[in-house]
Structure 1
Amino acid sequence: MTKTQQFEQQTKALIDNIKKVCANFGLGNDGNEFKVITQVFLYKFLNDKYVFELKKLDKRLSDVDNWEDVFATFSEKEVAKLNMRLKPSVAKIRPDHFISSLFNSQEKPNFAEIFDTTLTDIAKDNSDIFSVLTEGGEKIVLFENLSKYVTDNRDQFCKAIVNKLVDFSFENIFDEKFDFYATIFEYLIKDYNTNSGGKYAEYFTPHAVSKIMARCLVNGEVNNATCYDPSAGSGTLLMNLAHQIGEDKCTIYSQDISQKSSSLLRLNLVLNDLVHSIHNIIKGNTILDPYHKQANGELEKFDYIVSNPPFKLDFSDFSADLETKANQERFFAGIPKVPAKKKESMAIYLMFIQHIMYSLKDDGKAAIVVPTGFITAQSGIDKKIRQKLIDEKMLAGVVSMPSNIFANTGTNVSILFIDKANKGDVVLIDASNLGETIKDGKNQKTVLTHAEEDQIIDTFNKKEAVDDFSVVVSYDDIATKNYSLSAGQYFEVKIEYVDITEQEFDSKVKGFETSLRNMFSESKTLETTILQRLGHLKYEK
């Protein structure tokens, strides 16, 4: 077992231990369980990160085993100087807020209050850097009182949590890279990634899809890029995009209507060394009130946009508010109708596509997960959007994914790639036959191999035509096909010819004649038998 694998096992074991504590105190499968687990995990991570950075700055702390005793001798002035030298992305933790301090305070009365105060004080001390904003400007801070979610034995609950944290350290894994933290993050929220009562209802974008989107969007050196997701969820797409560009070469912007999503995205940013972007994470309604704007009030334009928007949603309470002149340009193809009987089936994703097209810079690029039906719809808003993409030459390509690539939705999906600078050909890929089907809980899920992921990415980036897999077509070709973006409609129908001799030809013809004569004979026999039996039928009352 490698060092990284060992750390991964230990980190997952910590998460499991926190979940066990929650279960033992009545929070198992409770809607608030995820708040406790994610916030405790983040507290531990920030605590250890602070200590890790202190030790790098001062050898008196790094060269001894009892660093806390040494640190306790530092004056307030010395601590303040060290804090000033820390990177802005490091949360400042007071000595009395260390996990070790909590551990040593367990015998004090009202320990739950001490525990809660520790977390809320850390949140206040670091609110300028680590707070998520609502569209109204309210700050959602790092931590809240967690003991309130337990009805009885709150002191014992908080002690049990601290006891799970004290013997574990993140210090050995801060040098790990994206793949490690992506795995840990997915494990951290895996029990809340279902659409059922009390669970975190987010469609978690599979890493294969996220990786394909990022690597097809970013192909070469990029600097100072702005990256945006208008329906960010927990940030899987943004994290893959930032990793492909370089975490220090991009700034993240997002908006999502869910406070849970925004909190989890913040955690994802902390884990992936993107703390500098936390103040751009907005909790709010993107379609009704997009937050990110320029100084003149116009919507901000971005270099890269990624999105896996909700496909269907009841937007009936807000749709009338969108019928304004200001939104006519943004929603150029129109606003989907609200179904009279099933309001929740309103095709909200069509509004996200239009919002994304409007929010791109003149040379911007985007990748959007869409229902595969979008790429061939013969009328309505779907076709109007495709027509604009073709007529204004801003489509890079489409990748149609295998069925069940998302385990929790049966909708077939494709990835729509937009590139406002692409005035050349368009690549269309049909990857629907790739992958293998596995069981994921009660659902079937299709999983791509790394080789298949690379096949899609390389074919797209090289704009290669591969038999029965991909085609490279012009904008004019697409227009003549009624703006269809389905690769299958452009595949050539090939008929294979085999040279045979005259004798082989005569032999095959005679074989066909013999077979037909036999079938005709059997048909006559069957005809006679049926007529005879019909003649014997009699009417009886």
Structure 2
Amino acid sequence: MTEEQRRQLQQQLWNIANTLRGKMNADEFRDYILGFIFYKYLSEKVVRFADSILEQDGLKFAALDEHTEDGAEIVQAVHDAAVSELGYFLKPSELFHAIAMKGNSQADSDADGEQYNFILPDLTRILKNIEQSTLGTDSADDFSNLFEDLDLTSSKLGATEKAKNALVTKVLVHLDKIDFSLADGTADVLGDAYEYLIGEFASGAGKKAGEFYTPQPVSTLLAKLVTAQNKNIKKLYDPTCGSGSLLLRVKREADHVDKIYGQELNRTTYNLARMNMILHDVHYADFDICQEDTLEHPQHRDLRFDAIVANPPFSAHWSANPLFMSDDRFSVYGKLAPSSKADMAFVQHMVYQLAEDGAMAVVLPHGVLFRGAAEGHIRQYLIEQMNCLDAVIGLPANIFYGTSIPTCVLVFKKCRRNPDNILFIDASQAFDKVKTQNMLRPAHIHKIVEAYLARTGQDKFSHVASLETIKANDYNLNIPRYVDTFEAEAEIDLNAIAGQLKALEAQSQQTDAIIAAFCQELGITPPFAESGK
């Protein structure tokens, strides 16, 4: 698929999504359109898998009649193989194309004589059947309640059942016409389109966008940082994984990732993350996404990870319960992050989960670099006692959806190649203005990563600070303390300015003389007479 065809697919999907726009807000119609796309993907995946099994018998899965004895026997055989390999199953009558065509056919008539097929009960049943097909299998957790946000009874779809049915049918029929190119195993066309839609929804979701999406350039930067010196990752982790886009970006940058782990508090976003993994062809056995509060109830605390990436909610509230002082994640520091700002609590959690030879990159608000009290104490411990902070990277303001504050990336390693210093990079001016948003371009990302790898001082961009210097600054990591970005103003030639003023004065006198002559001809007093001119 060419780049132009890829863009056309993205635009087609966005146009279909806009079919729902007038009925509900961005985060609501996001859940519907992404859910329907996911249903179509699951259907096409089953068809391709089943057809490969039935090929030697000259059969096509979609053409099987599951109500006959022979058909039911074949469908059951495909079911057993599909659940084992794909983790789920759909019958021929439950396939996306079948339900879209049923809705689009004109078989029934309503009280007004208009013909239509009512598919909402069938669709609700099918989505439930997908989940139930996994019960008792290893994939059950990954498909449990996956479609719970597709409320087909919602009045937001229409005032009447007929209106709801018509809208859903329209969306399904439009989607049914699109080729997702699943046969091309080398091109993640649908995954890219799905990411595109998530990004588009984030741009219109305001503050809520931060709950489920990290802008792709930022994801790319974090991914490149944690894979810079190790591209074969056994365990990858994001404790605040949102829609999973950041994890998938690391998978793309790495040569190989054995298993992906994530945790997400928001239930809807958790469902989105699981869909996103499956849509990117991550096998159900190769990811473990959990839904819980990471700080209060960590689900993977016994594991250690080769790579950790995160974009935690900025300055979120947490309990800061004194009982956490006996929790291994926090106890060694002697202090807890304040309840009103959980930023450092997330750092402590992630450092605890980081493998001895692992790499971690986390996006945080600038306040973590210089705030005092408990946060200052934790920051000092991380540097002085654990010596695991490898780099501090300042990012531009206004690059995240829903907030314009400047942010930074902290890179941590427990076994550092440069244990005597910390690298500071000021990339706050590395952006292009795109409408109201600032954006990191590939060239900006490349410059940051190259500076991180080179680990040398660059005028007005990077500086390698010794631990003694940082100690002398009382462990304040505010980037301007280390990277001098001061631009001297151009010198002013006072003699030249004086000459310009004399020339302006002479010109003014000539103008006054001309005005005075005109006033004399008109017999009026010049306007500057009172000033003595």
Report whether the alignment pairs 1:228 with 2:224. Answer: no
- Which residue of 2 is the match for residue 349 of structure 1? 343
Deviation sequence 1:307-337 (CA, Å, 0-9, x none): 111122343xx34474552367357253344
Q: Which amino acid aligns with 1:451?
A: A
Residue identity opposite 2:391 in structure 1: G
Aligned to 1:472: 464
Provide closer, same or farther for how the CA distance between residues 402 and 162 of structure 1 changes in structure 2, counting only shifts above 3 A.
closer
- 2:280 alignment partner, one of 272, 276, 292: 272
AA of the residue aligned to 1:162: L
Which residue, out of 402, 418, 424, partners 2:412? 418
Equivalent position of 2:446 in the other structure: 454
RMSD across aligned positions (CA): 3.7
Contact 2:87 2:284 in 1 (8 A): no
1:326 paired to 2:327: yes
TM value normalised by structure 2? 0.77
Shift of 1:387: 1.6
- The DSSP-based 3-state class of the residue aligned with 1:147 is coil
How big is each residue's C-alpha offset from its partner over 1:351-401, in whole Å with a ceiling of 9 and x where there is no partner? Answer: 111111122122222111111232233x22332232222222212111101
CA–CA distance in 2 between the matches of 1:309 and 1:44?
A: 32
1:140 alignment partner in structure 2 = 145
**Structure 1 pair 3/333, CA: closer, same or farther in 2 (3 Å)?**
same
Q: 1:278 Cα shift?
A: 7.1
What is the deviation of 1:181?
A: 2.5
Matches of 1:493 and 1:39, distance apart in 2: 48
How do 1:101-500 residues align onto structure 2 when only pairs under 5 Å count? 101-106=98-103, 107=107, 110-126=118-134, 128=137, 139-142=144-147, 146-150=151-155, 151-152=159-160, 153=162, 154-172=164-182, 174-177=184-187, 181-188=191-198, 190-191=200-201, 202=211, 204-246=213-255, 249-276=257-284, 280-294=288-302, 300-315=303-318, 318-320=319-321, 322-323=323-324, 325-326=326-327, 329-330=330-331, 332=333, 334-338=335-339, 346-377=340-371, 379-391=372-384, 392-424=386-418, 425-439=421-435, 444-491=436-483
Which of 44, 49, 67 lines up with 2:45 in the alignment? Answer: 49
Q: Give 5+ residue unaligned stretches, structure 2.
A: 109-116, 489-493, 502-533
Post-superposition offset of 1:211: 1.0
d(CA) in 2 for partners of 1:19, 1:173: 27
Kept in 1: contact 2:338–2:374 (CA 8 A): no
Deviation string 1:404-454 (CA, Å, 9 cap, x unpaired) is: 122421211000000111051432111112212221xxxx32112211211
Q: Is the Cα contact below 8 Å between 1:305 and 1:366 reproduced in 2?
A: yes
Q: Contact 1:367 / 1:416 at 8 angstroms: preserved in 2?
A: yes
| Residues 14 and 435 of structure 1, relative CA distance in 2, 3 Å threshold | closer
Return closer, same or farther for 1:84/1:3 CA change in 2, 3 Å cut-off.
farther
| 8 Å contact from structure 2 (residues 32, 150) kept in 1 | no
Partner SS state of residue 5, structure 2: helix
Contact 1:431 1:469 in 2 (8 A): yes
Q: Distance in 1 between matches of 2:248 and 2:470?
A: 33
Render the CA deviation track for 1:149-178: whole Å, top value 9, x for unaligned: 245124334433332233223235753545
Partner of 2:511: none
1:82-130 Cα deviation digits (max 9, x unpaired): 5555573464221111123224544367532112111111121135465
Letter in 1 for 2:480: G
Look up the SS of the partner of 1:140 in the other structure: coil
Quick one: which amino acid aligns to residue 332 of structure 1?
Y
User: How far apart are residue 286 of structure 1 and its match?
Assistant: 1.0
Residue correspondence of structure 1 range 504-515 to structure 2 within 5 A: none
Q: Secondary structure at the match of 1:290?
A: coil
* Contact 1:331–1:355 (CA under 8 A) maintained in structure 2: no
Aligned residue pairs total: 473
Q: Give the Cα separation in 2 of the matches to 1:433 and 1:209.
A: 15
Cα deviation 1:273-331 (Å, max 9, x = unaligned) = 2233576211111111111243xxxxx3222111111122343xx34474552367357
Helix, strand or coil at the partner of 2:423:
strand
- Cα separation, 2, equivalents of 1:220 and 1:493: 29
Is the contact between residue 131 and residue 141 of structure 1 (CA under 8 Å) also seen in structure 2? no
Deviation per CA, 1:155-208: give whole Å up to 9, x if none: 3344333322332232357535458734532324623555569x6662632211
Q: Take 2:487 and 2:273, find their aligned partners in 1: how far apart are those partners?
A: 52
- 1:461 partner letter: L
Q: Secondary structure at the match of 1:249?
A: strand
Q: Aligned in 2, Cα 1:322/1:279: closer, same or farther, shift over 3 Å?
A: farther
Alignment check: 8 A CA contact 1:370 1:414 kept: yes
- Aligned residue for 2:211, secondary structure, equals coil
Q: Extract unaligned runs of 5+ from structure 1.
A: 295-299, 339-345, 497-510, 519-541
In structure 2, the residue matched to 1:10 is 9
Shift of 1:144: 6.4
Q: Secondary structure at the match of 1:171?
A: coil
Tell me which amino acid in the other structure corresponds to 1:411. I
Shift of 1:15: 4.3
Name the CA distance, whole Å, in 2 between partners of 1:67 and 1:81: 11
